[in-house]
Amino acid sequence: MKLRQYLQSLGYGTRREVEALVAEGRITDAEREALYVDDEVGEGAPSRGGHRLPHAAIRFDGEVLDAPPGLLAVLHKPVGVTCSTKDPGRLVYDLLPPRWKARDPIVSPVGRLDKDTSGLLLFTDDGQLLHRLTSPKYHQPKVYRATLAEDLRGNEAALFAAGTLMLEGEHKPLLPAEFEVLGPREARLTLHEGRYHQVRRMFAATGNAVATLHREAIGGLTLEALGLAEGAWRMLTASERAALSASA
Ligand code: URA
């Protein structure tokens, strides 16, 4: 791929903007030598003589580029931000590097969390990985902690484990889910599928209402082990990626 196209795909600007950055000498190699829009980018022979620049050799204003394609990041989503690129109000993208939503392919959330739900949210620009992480076939259990508006009814564990619970407006019963009581109005719920507003609708089916909802874990990844403060994000390490695939 040509450097022009590569920088565009990473969100550094339109064709013209990228050409301007290159013309201004702001795109260089590690030795601060200016690069050209037609230089070839790709892993392989690292020498410029061979005209194949590995990602790691390219600099923008002296800084290494944003993550190469195939990124997988995790955000501790706070309450009050939306999983969208353009809703009014605060967006998850406001918490991520600004170029991520200009990338092609875009960096997308892996599934969604409601505006009023906090917790672990993955992001990737890799379509295959996105499919794998959301497909029921590769199943990733999702763990939620909920506080309720009223005391638990006492029948939730049996109801949610039954595999017969039908949500309003749906035709297929929910898969069995694990339920753990944490307090009179607090519980942990592990889901094996992801339907629209699923946790809120499951508690609504018991005549209760969710007051707060937080996703603690996806597969083998827990927010606690990741140690991320609310609103913070980071790339997953190779071993964290492996923990996720191992749990699939
Ligand atoms: N269930 C919900 O109701 N909301 C979420 O954000 C996730 C699961």
Please give the CATH number for the structural domain made up of 72-247. 3.30.2350.10
Helix (H, G, I), strand (E, B) or coil at 45: coil
> Is residue 160 within 8 Å of 199, Cβ to Cβ?
no
Q: How far apart are CA 229 and CA 29, in angstroms?
A: 35
State the sign of the Cα–Cα–Cα–Cα dihedral 157, 159, 164, 166. negative
34-69 per-position pLDDT tens digit: 999 999 998 765 555 566 899 999 999 999 999 999
pLDDT at 93: 96
Q: How confident is the model at residue 235 (pLDDT cuts 50, 70, 90)?
A: very high
Residue for token digits 């990741």? Answer: 226
Ligand 1 midpoint to CA 29 (Å) = 45
Catalytic residue check, 61? no
Probe ligand 1: pick from 113, 115, 120, max atoms within 8 Å of CB? Answer: 113
If you write DSSP's letter for every residue of 124-167 in order, what string do you get? ES-HHHHHHHH-GGG---EEEEEEESS---S-HHHHHHSS----
> Is residue 144 within 8 Å of 215, Cβ to Cβ?
yes
Ligand 1 binding residues, C-beta < 6 A: 113-114, 117, 197-200, 213
Helix (H, G, I), strand (E, B) or coil at 97: coil
What is the average pLDDT score of the chain?
93
| DSSP helix, strand, coil percent of the chain (3-state; round to 5) | 25, 25, 50
Helices (H) and strands (E) in the chain, counts: 7, 14
Ligand 1 midpoint to CA 64 (Å) = 37
Which one from 38, 87, 94, 114 is the annotated catalytic residue?
Answer: 114
pLDDT at 50: 60
Ligand 1 atom 4: residue of nearest CA: 197
Q: How confident is the model at residue 247 (pLDDT cuts 50, 70, 90)?
A: low
Q: How far apart are CA 207 and CA 210, in angstroms?
A: 10
Ligand 1 midpoint to CA 211 (Å) = 12
Phi/psi for 111 (5° steps) reads 75, -175
193-226 per-position pLDDT tens digit: 999 999 999 999 999 999 999 999 999 899 999 9
Ligand 1 midpoint to CA 102 (Å) = 27
pLDDT at 135: 85
Instruction: Point out the ligand 1 atom lying closest to the alpha carbon of residue 117.
Output: 6
pLDDT at 208: 98
Q: Hey, what are 229's tokens?
A: 């403060």
Residue for token digits 């339109």? Answer: 14
Ligand 1 atom 3: residue of nearest CA: 197
pLDDT at 137: 83
- Look at the chain and count its residues: 248
